[in-house]
Amino acid sequence: MTGRDASAAIGRRRFLRGALYASVATLAPSVAAREAAEIHAVVGKAAGRYAAPVFGSVQAALDAAPREGLRPFRILIGRGVWREKLVIDKPWIHLIGEDRAGSVLSYDSAAGMRRADGQPWGTWGCASLTVRAADFRAERLSIRNDFDYVGNLRAPRFEAIGPNGAQAVALMLDRGAERSVLHEVDLIGHQDTLFAEAGRSWFRRCRVAGSVDFVFGGGNALFEECTLHSRYRPDKQRQGYVAVPCTPSAQAYGLSFLRCRLTRDAEVPDASVALGRAWRPGRTLPDGKYGDPDAVGAAVYLSCWMDAHIDPLGWDAMAYTARDGSRTMLEPLAARLYEHDSRGPGAARTPQRRRLDRAAVLRHQRERVLGDWLPQA
């Protein structure tokens, strides 16, 4: 190649590289513009980049959504702590955070606290965010219950409701919720952080932090590549329980954890946290109120990494009220609590930690767990 040819080749490469950079520069604004056009409401100071209406609260933005939505109504949550107690009862609400750690939905009600009418909130009413409609989605934000759990352990401030009144739910998927998606969301509390009570839900790359029963309920919830983080409880030998299902007996799937990580605060001792326990909540039946005999909890850990805070025994028993009024223990072997391919320092092999057989493992792939619903990240 002559010097002239080499110069021409270099010139062509520079031209092509410049054209490529120009095309990328042209593409980036178009993608940003398309995303901005898909935002229908903005909460906070992120308004400058979007043509959507701006609201001063999350509740005001929810009020602006159509009652019978047929497509997503996307609300951008700007940076800040939005202290609001929210109930989503409209379908297709999508909450999109401007910043995963900086866009925070928070409240601080606990079960034993009193509502305006003087009655206690209870576990079913204390959530910071309650979902009662289909096709909810949240991504890149945090949902917290900021009740001072540790402070209340040291100096209780109200009458106990249930075991202690300190149940403080961050997110509840209540009756009416179905096809809920949470992607890259932090859920933070202590006791009863996430109440997955109803419908099918998919959690992907989320972080759930708590101590006692901090993932619980009777819904069909699939967690993929999530972090389940155990928080420290001062002066407690049993630091907590991760998964606490009350799955109806006819429901094949309950709380399913696939490729998740079970981590801990530095202060949480080794062997101090149970994988979970099966819950039999009280239910009013024709012959009285007692632990629901139809609640046969289902929870599985599949290819999960576990730190050494997980007890080698795995699962604990849990008390419930029997039909005759006595307190009875629901033993782990009486429920549907299993593992497969557990890894890390907390992955022990003991008789109480039952393994799924190969056929059961295949039945716990996403397509089988979620059925005809195939959510997208």
Residues with a catalytic annotation lie at 192, 213
DSSP state of 288: E
Q: Quick check: helix, strand or coil at residue 110?
A: coil
Sign of the torsion angle spanned by Cα atoms 16, 19, 25, 30 = negative
- What's the alpha-carbon Rg for the chain, to the nearest Å? 24
Q: HSE of 274 in the Cβ direction (CA atoms, 13 Å)?
A: 24
Across the strands, what pairs with 104? 81, 142
Backbone angles phi, psi at 309, to 5 degrees: -70, -15
Strands 220-224 and 200-204 come out as parallel
Residues in contact with 18: Cβ distance below 8 Å, sequence separation at least 6, in sequence order = none
Token digits for 1?
């190649």
Backbone angles phi, psi at 305, to 5 degrees: -95, 130
DSSP state of 271: T
Q: Quick check: helix, strand or coil at residue 320?
A: strand
Residue 84, number of CB atoms within 10 A of its CB: 16
d(CA 156, CA 107): 19
